[in-house]
Copies of this chain bind each other. A is one copy, B any other.
Amino acid sequence: MKKNAFYAQSGGVTAVINASACGVIETARKHKNRIGRVYAGRNGIIGALTEDMVDTSRESARAIASLRYTPGGAFGSARYKLKGLEENRAEYERLIEVFRAHDIGYFFYNGGGDSMDTAHKVSQLGRQLGYPITCVGVPKTVDNDLPVTDNCPGFGSVAKYVAVSTLEASLDVASMAKTSTKVFILEVMGRHAGWIAAAAGLAGATRRDAPHIILFPEVVFHEAAFLARVAACVEQNEYCVVVVSEGARRPDSRFLAEADTRDAFGHAQLGGAAQVVAEMVKANLGLKYHYAIADYLQRSARHIASKVDVAQAYAVGKAAVELALAGKNAVMPTVVRTSDRPYRWTIGSTPLARVANREKMMPRRFISRDGFAITSACRRYLEPLIRGEDYPPYRNGLPAYGALKNAPVPPRLKKPFVIG
């Protein structure tokens, strides 16, 4: 029984989500007796709903191989969460309709917690509607907040980027502190969990090294304690490096970035967490600051991807196909750590029901008692995830990232589907 497969990317993209796509497609191509063509959704699940799909069988082996080292989402991703079955059953039914029209028997959904929930629901509904489809999630998120799996593909590379950038900027600031910037602030992603901010802690071996202060979403931000720490740090080292998560929150649980602090003219302060912290430092301590906001640079920085992360991203894509072919339904491959030192990992799997809509926060034992640093337990967990470099090929000084033809699959349904 040969069936086609559908693959889609969901949510914020990462430096290695295409490596997972590569794992899915290359592995499917090795099983042509069971899997016909792999269709990819343009702009994620929206591509399935609107019958806007790419036929990956039209791509050369070389083009598919280039996905392993190309950041972004090769087929387009989407921030689009299907509602509950009761609220919008039409969307789920449409998915099944499209799958049926294109003889799709496998659904590979590459995303985070929300996407695992969607994949889970599709598998249930398919059975109800008499169109059984094998649904396998492929884990992806820079936030590292999926449960069960030891870590998430996508995280290791952003962690490496943040650790390397913190190290480099710290050397810069240290060498200029005598006459210039005293406080440098780097804002990183992580609206709910502090995993990315924690990775900055790898840049220093001891508490005296930069980064001197990390502001986690998990730890309530107290202005006075923070400022006292900055002042002491500048007193001791002549400079202070602060890494702030965009998710850092005040005691009243508003984000730092939403704070209504006022500037010298009484105007409300806008801007991100870094700017709020910077103005706070200047207003209260009178210290010269600079700040950087890594934003999308951090999650697209394939040029400094973690080799472990690339390998795991590929492995979960490959495992997803293998699980599907082994008849597993409504599951997700996981990364299982079998040893810390030396670091060893293998691929396991878990039911989608166990990962859907659940967030894994940083455990309290990963954050120092004072709330400003990572612990050695955290370091032991994080360090292997940024190991190894996996450089893309270069041409004329720039990474020679791949580009697909993205040939469309001819639509078969007459009825268009309106999103929303």
Contact = CB atoms under 8 A, between A and B. Distances in A.
Interface string A75-91: 11111100000000000
Interface stretch (A109-117, A130-138, A358-366, A385-393): A385-393
B165 A301 contact: yes
Contacts of A164: 303, 398-399
A179 B292 contact: no
A76 B44 CA distance: 50
A75 B177 CA distance: 12
A184 B301 CA distance: 15
Interface string A168-207: 1111111111111100101000000000000000110000
Given A79-B179, A167-B401, A174-B72, A391 B394 contact: no
Given A43-B179, A301-B165, A391-B389, A72 B171 contact: yes
A229 interface: no
Contacts of A174: 72, 76
Contacts of A386: 396-398
Contact of A396 (B46, B301, B383): B383
| Copies of this chain | 2
A61 interface: no
Contacts of A71: 168, 171-172
A394 B15 CA distance: 20
A398 B169 contact: no
A70 B170 CA distance: 12
Interface residues of A, number: 77
Nearest to A202: B398
Interface in A246-278: 263, 265, 267-271, 275
Nearest to A267: B267
A299 interface: yes
Contacts of A398: 163-164, 167, 202-203, 386
B296 A290 contact: yes
Given A300-B168, A391-B391, A176 B397 contact: no
Nearest to A73: B175
A290 B294 CA distance: 11
A227 B158 CA distance: 32
Contacts of A12: 176, 180
